[in-house]
Amino acid sequence: MKEKELKQLQEKEQYDVKYIAELREYWNIYFYALINEIFTGIAINLGMTTKEAYRLAKSKPSDLKKANFFKSIFNKFKKIFKYKIPKFRYKEKLYDKQKPIKEKQWKKFNKYLDNYWSNYAKKASEDITIKAHELGKQTTEFRKKKKPYKNKSLYQVNFEQYENEMPSSLIEAYKKYDFSNAEKNILNKQFSSIAMYVTETGTKIQEAIRQQIQTGIENNKSPIEIASDLYWNVEKNENLVNKYTSETLRKDWNRISSTEIATIYESGILAPYEAQSMKSLKDPSFAQYFIFTGGSCPWCQAHQGSLVRLVPVDIVTNTTNDSLSSMGIKDPNTDIAIWIGKNNIGYKETKNIHEWRICTPAHPYNVATLQPIDLKNEWYNPKTGDVEKRQKKQKFVPKQIDYTQKTKEEKEWRKPTFIGENLVRFNNNIYEGVDQEDYNKKLEEHRKNPQLPIPVNKNSPAYKRIFIVEKNKK
């Protein structure tokens, strides 16, 4: 398979958990609408009527969107998000054939755009960040309680788990709920990386508008042509001009938001286990394991079912090495460590180079998820792609009632009974009382040949229980 095809398959990955899929959809659509509104405002600034400008935004021939496309989506989420798409109307003319726009004027325009962008895009992004994290924690709760959760909508989770008041900012969440310092650190770090992406996208929008208007004026284009180029510059040189269309900006944002939301959601899934993973360093019985599940691209499919163990993020000094033994942890079940925030940024995966590691998300647009597993009682079922309870092996023979046990004789027979010098029959087993110095040798013999009596050390409490009581009775 070609690399381009692989990338396309990765882009197509979709969540099978409804509430996180919906959050991802909302973020993507809200940004799309904001970018669209800015570009529409520019088209109006260039001289188009409002009607023409909106029609242009909606009518790309290859991807026809209905007039109420945004409206229906925003309606779906109106109980959760109240973010508006305010009009973007910059008053000073950005297009004048006689007088090219001066640097000073661009700066003024950029400020106006900055203001609009940080007011709406940043606020919504913080809201979505904290919600994605909370949803991850809810997923952990649902999984622990073995509750079906995949078909729950964002609306349902907000209503059922938060009484319609899911936090919408980090400060609000920190006040309302218990966050460990480690968890706060991680979440703050993740939000600042998101804030950086939001700023970057704003800068790209500024660049796009300036570039298109300037090249348009230089090439004697009409204002309508320039406006059209801003939306859909599909037929032009892909690498150069397409960088500056609303469609490219939106696609870029889709990649960023899908990957970032997965990062935060998965951190939310792991966060409730962080304290336990710290304990497991001293007591391995606390070790928490996870199975890499989900994702539909060939890379994900090849890695589904991989077993990993969570380590506290504080002990990871070298993020390029994810081997448990390199961290001084000997684990009989796996050598792959994961920690909150582990990612593949900067790692290559091509036909010949294989650097991607097990983490979630493992690649852009990835929807793979780490499912906790209790190795004793659960297993990964490759058919369903889920961690499931181990079925106890049962023979399909009707259970027989043991009548014999009810008889007096049987009861007597099961009591400890001397059958030789140092031999006692008890519960269908034969025990031999042995001196301490012979015990190990006898035990060894018994292990090799289970037909021999079970040795009991004469100095042990068990000996008293089995041998002494009965002897006295006799």
Residues that bind Zn ion (CB under 5 A): 295, 297, 300
What secondary structure does DSSP assign to 69-134, as a single string? Answer: HHHHHHHHTTTT-----------S-S--SSSPPPHHHHHHHHHHHHHHHIIIIIHHHHHHHHHHHH
Distance CA 67, CA 50 (A): 14
CB nearer Zn ion, residue 41 or residue 294:
294
Residue 169 contacts residue 125 (beta carbons within 8 Å) = no
Q: How far is the CB of 1 from Zn ion (least distance, A)?
A: 13
* Residue 284 per-residue DSSP state: G
* Identity of the residue, 270 or 297, whose beta carbon is nearer to Zn ion in the bound complex: 297
For the CB of residue 115, give the shortest distance to Zn ion in the complex, in Å: 38
Nearer to Zn ion (CB atom), residue 3 or residue 238: 3
Q: In the complex, what is the shortest distance from the CB of residue 338 to Zn ion, in angstroms, rounded to a whole number?
A: 16
Between residues 8 and 407, which has the closer beta carbon with respect to Zn ion? 8
DSSP classification of residue 464: I
Smallest gap from Cβ 260 to Zn ion, in A, equals 16
- Residue 329 near residue 256, CB atoms below 8 Å: no
The pair phi, psi for residue 429, each rounded to 5°, is -110, 155
**CB of residue 13 vs Zn ion: minimum separation in angstroms?**
5
Longest dimension (CA), the chain: 123
- What type of residue is 471? K
Looking at the Cβ atoms of 189 and 348, the one nearer to Zn ion is 348
Q: Please give, one letter per residue, the 3-state secondary structure of 20-37.
A: HHHHHHHHHHHHHHHHHH
Indicate the residue among 186 and 297 with the shorter CB distance to Zn ion: 297
CB 336 within 8 A of CB 307: yes
Nearest residue to 20 via CA among 132, 127, 129: 132
> Of the two residues 16 and 331, which places its CB atom closer to Zn ion in the complex?
16
- 374 residue type, one letter: D
Q: Find the shortest distance in angstroms from Cβ 84 to Zn ion.
A: 35
Which of 295, 416 has the CB closer to Zn ion?
295
Q: Least Å distance between CB 367 and Zn ion? A: 8
Beta-strand runs (E) in 355-440: 369-373, 378-381, 386-389, 417-418, 423-426, 429-434
Q: Cα–Cα distance between 474 and 465 in angstroms, integer? A: 15
- Do the beta carbons of residue 113 and residue 204 sit within 8 Å? no
CB of 305 to Zn ion, least distance (A): 14
At 323, is the secondary structure helix, strand, or coil?
strand
Minimum separation from the CB atom of position 197 to Zn ion (A): 21
Nearer to Zn ion, 268 or 295 (CB): 295
